[in-house]
Structure 1
Amino acid sequence: MSEPVYVDKAKVMAQLRSRQLHARADWVDRELPVLIDTYKNAALLQTLGIDLDAMAPGDVAASAS
Structure 2
Amino acid sequence: MNFESRIMELESRLAFQDDTIQALSDELLEQNRRIERMQLQLTALARRQEELNGLSGIAEDEAPPPHY
Q: Provide TM-score, normalisation by structure 1.
A: 0.24
Structure with greater proportional strand content: 1
Structure with greater proportional helix content: 2
Larger radius of gyration: 2
Structure number with greater CO (CA < 8 Å, separation at least 6) is 1
